[in-house]
Amino acid sequence: MQFNWKAAMNGYTQKDWRDFVFFSANVQHLLGIHQLDIQQNLHRAAINFSRRQAETDATKFQFESKTYWISPERAQFILSFHFGYYRAVPAFLVQRGYKLCIPVAKEVMLQQSQHYAALLGDRWQKQVILLEAEDPYLFFKLRQQMDLGYHIFCYLDGGVSAAKDFRTQKLSEIPFLNGSIKIKHGILHMAFLLQKNITVLIAKVAAENEPIVICELSHWFENWFPSAMQFTDYFSRIIYEDFEEALLEYPEAWEAWFYLHKTMLPSSNEANWSATNRIISFRNKEKQLLFDKFTYLSYLLP
């Protein structure tokens, strides 16, 4: 007997069900999971991990380092994903004396300032510089800070705040897992223009009371590409291919499942979708909508 979404939605609040519907579409595109009950189990696991990650005290992280390419004295681009205990990556770096310059959305600038003040105390402003990601002169400011010895740190998969201007951004589509996603090349393009090394780090999922392992996912230090376009297209694919392995081991540990439809708009082969696992319904502002998980389009029901 097929699991019925009409029965399943009764166990959720209106908002929680709406959030689940978009989560369901995201994992259906990229993981190829069509069974609603399995999607629900993954959704619950992702919520539980997200809470555990958020409640972990960043000032008390213990680390096992598996990084070999990063010199504190040689400024480079250090990139990561909202995966695992992702707040541990910048915490690991600043605790070891690295100076970081971090582009962040204007709306979370205060929150990030408070986070690093709690992590580093009075010395945080000497070790961490936050720049508005929306600044049209961001490239020149990043170059200036790198000349002063600051590493550029950012998350490749954006975040909730990155969703605001998604439709106006220039994006490139790359294959990922069972489908494809749309990504920004901006930070890789900057690294190419500045001729700086790139290292991608992730914080692996650790058992309770075990140290968090910070390890390299990818590294790039020789630039033999003739153009920025060729470099960013090639290296972005390599980064996401490397990320797939970690993600498939712990799919619940990727926070972006909750907002991929706003930031990366997943897609996949329509031939793999049937009407029974494609159409679902939810309420929004007292209106009942029919939702197509393949296209992310919703239709008002009479």
With beta carbons less than 8 A apart as the criterion, state whether 186 and 72 touch: no
Q: Give the model confidence (pLDDT) of 134-149 as tens digits.
A: 889 999 999 999 999 9
pLDDT band at 169 (very low <50, low <70, confident <90, very high): low
**What is d(CA 266, CA 263) in angstroms, rounded to the nearest whole number?**
9
**Taking all residues of the chain, what is their mean pLDDT, rounded to a whole number?**
86
pTM of the predicted structure, to 2 decimals? 0.89
Count the alpha carbons within 13 Å of 15 in the hemisphere toward its beta carbon. Answer: 0
Torsion angle of alpha carbons 80, 81, 84, 89, nearest 10°?
20
Q: Give the model confidence (pLDDT) of 239-273 as tens digits.
A: 999 999 999 999 999 999 999 999 999 999 999 99
- Kindly state the tokens that stand for 287: 């209106």
Sign of torsion, CA 128 133 137 142?
Answer: positive
Q: Beta-carbon neighbour count of residue 210 at 10 Å?
A: 11
Q: Give the model confidence (pLDDT) of 177-228 as tens digits.
A: 999 999 988 899 999 999 999 999 998 887 777 778 888 888 877 667 788 8
Cβ neighbors of 245 (< 8 A, separation 6 or more) are none
Instruction: Tell me how many degrees the CA angle 284-289-291 measures, rounded to the nearest 5.
Output: 115
Q: Tell me which residue has tokens 């990504």.
A: 183
pLDDT band at 289 (very low <50, low <70, confident <90, very high): confident
Sign of torsion, CA 80 83 84 85?
Answer: positive
Q: Give the model confidence (pLDDT) of 63-81 as tens digits.
A: 666 666 677 888 999 999 9
Query: For residue 111, how far is the Cα from the chain centroid?
Result: 18
